[in-house]
Homo-oligomer: A and B are copies of this chain.
Amino acid sequence: MSQSMAAKHAIWPRKKDIIFNLSERAQRAEKNIGRENVINATIGALMDDYGRLITMETVYNEYKSIQNNDIAAYASLAGQPEYIEAVKKACFKEYMPEGHIRVVASPGGSGAIKLAVCNYTNPGDQILTSDWFWSPYVIISEEVGRKIDTYQLFDSSNNFNFESFKNKFLEISDKQERIFTIINTPAHNPTGYSVSDDEWDKILDLSKDVAKNKDKKIILFVDVAYIDFATKENSRAFFKKFSNLPENILVIVGFSMSKGFTAYGMRMGAAIGITSCENVAEEFHYSCVHSCRANWSNCNRGAMTLLSNIMKDSEKYKEYNEDKDRYKKMLSVRAKTFVEESEKIGLDILPYRDGFFVSIPCENPMEVCEELTKDNLYLVPLKMGLRFAVCAVSESKCKIAPRIIKNALEYIESKKVIGEK
């Protein structure tokens, strides 16, 4: 047997990243047969119609103008004070909840999830999220010995399945002290769903009901990575609902600069704790800061300065918003095209509201995905279907993709029927 040195808990199956792999294959195809003949819907970032990464000019002009020493110096562990204020403004806008709020800087949204999971669950705990979910939730949880359990996001009529949420939530609250739930909204990755205000009311009413048992600790982690691409006028209104909750409900919002500022590679985000109890807020600060020091120390200073500079200058903020709105509109048009075409030709997709992705439920996603590569369409197989990145595909390609996908699904289905005969 070969020598092994890693601790047992550190040994995982040696898998190559499937998204990265498909993305590479798509790029190879583009080189071989021309970009215009390939649909690369694997990439989770805004790309222009020519397949180039979009970088907002207002963001990068500002970034390039930052003084060297404001990039070079170490930042405070919890984040620079100006950044902390900027995060609150950028995240909540006019919907800042009432209560005690603490912000701790993190490397992207991922770091915020890490902080929350480690400090607010116990080893062995089950963490609740929807059955359509961003797979790193599992990796973050399993690394520290926590497990992901899921509720059904949609019922058979493709509406938010509150019954399933409620059952799972109560099941976990029966057996655990802590009920830690991850809700990725608005503009959910991978489905594009956004929890409505009414649905939020139901979730919070249920939480308050369980919170009557003072031995229970309820943590709602709200992953808002894609919030800047939510299209509803008041898509941030739900933040106000986090005001004045019982003391044993803690809301943690996972903020990220990655998408809203086209700053994926800068690794800048924050965990925002919202509570009606000052002690819970202080505890949040100290627990998270300890974890920062123990995991990555401080975060990217230049990226903090960038956000601070944009948020404190109303002229810059206005220009940034114009810049972003242009891309937001581009994204909406693409998504609308994909959704309408799917409806028209009868491709069954999940209810899309906002964001970078549309999901198509199917059986054997890996097989369908492989089949689609023959048509030079590349997307990402999930456990229960396919993820199509409208953020990375031009309008004209969004128009033709549903038909290609439907044909592949039908072909696989027909093969299966023949095989069964």
Report which A residues bind B (CB closer than 8 A): 2-12, 14, 17, 20, 45, 52-53, 55, 60, 63-64, 68-77, 106-108, 110-111, 114, 118-122, 136, 139-140, 142-144, 178, 217, 219, 247-248, 250, 262-267, 275, 277-280, 282-284, 286-287, 290-291, 293-302
Give complex CA distance A45, B248 in Å.
42
Given A5-B217, A10-B118: A63 touches B71 (CB 8 Å cut-off):
yes
Is the pair A5, B283 in contact by a Cβ cutoff of 8 Å?
yes
Given A63-B71, A143-B290, A296-B114: A265 touches B7 (CB 8 Å cut-off):
no
Is the pair A293, B139 in contact by a Cβ cutoff of 8 Å?
yes
Task: Give the chain B neighbours of A140 by CB distance below 8 A.
Answer: 293-295
Give complex CA distance A411, B135 in Å.
62
Is the pair B143, A291 in contact by a Cβ cutoff of 8 Å?
yes
Task: Give the chain B neighbours of A266 by CB distance below 8 A.
Answer: 71-72, 300-302
A-B contact pairs, 30 of them (CB 8 A): A4-B280, A6-B287, A7-B121, A7-B122, A11-B283, A11-B287, A12-B290, A20-B76, A45-B73, A53-B72, A55-B69, A64-B64, A71-B263, A72-B264, A72-B265, A72-B266, A73-B264, A107-B299, A108-B297, A111-B296, A114-B296, A136-B293, A136-B297, A139-B290, A142-B294, A143-B290, A143-B295, A265-B301, A265-B302, A300-B300
Q: Which 5 A-B pairs have the closest CB atoms?
A: A265-B301, A143-B294, A2-B279, A10-B119, A55-B68
Give complex CA distance A297, B352 in Å.
27
Is the pair B297, A107 in contact by a Cβ cutoff of 8 Å?
yes
Minimum CB–CB distance for A215 against chain B, Å: 12
Output the residue of A7, A45, A76, A248 with the most chain B CB within 10 A: A7
Is the pair B2, A277 in contact by a Cβ cutoff of 8 Å?
yes
Minimum CB–CB distance for A34 against chain B, Å: 21
Is the pair A287, B120 in contact by a Cβ cutoff of 8 Å?
no
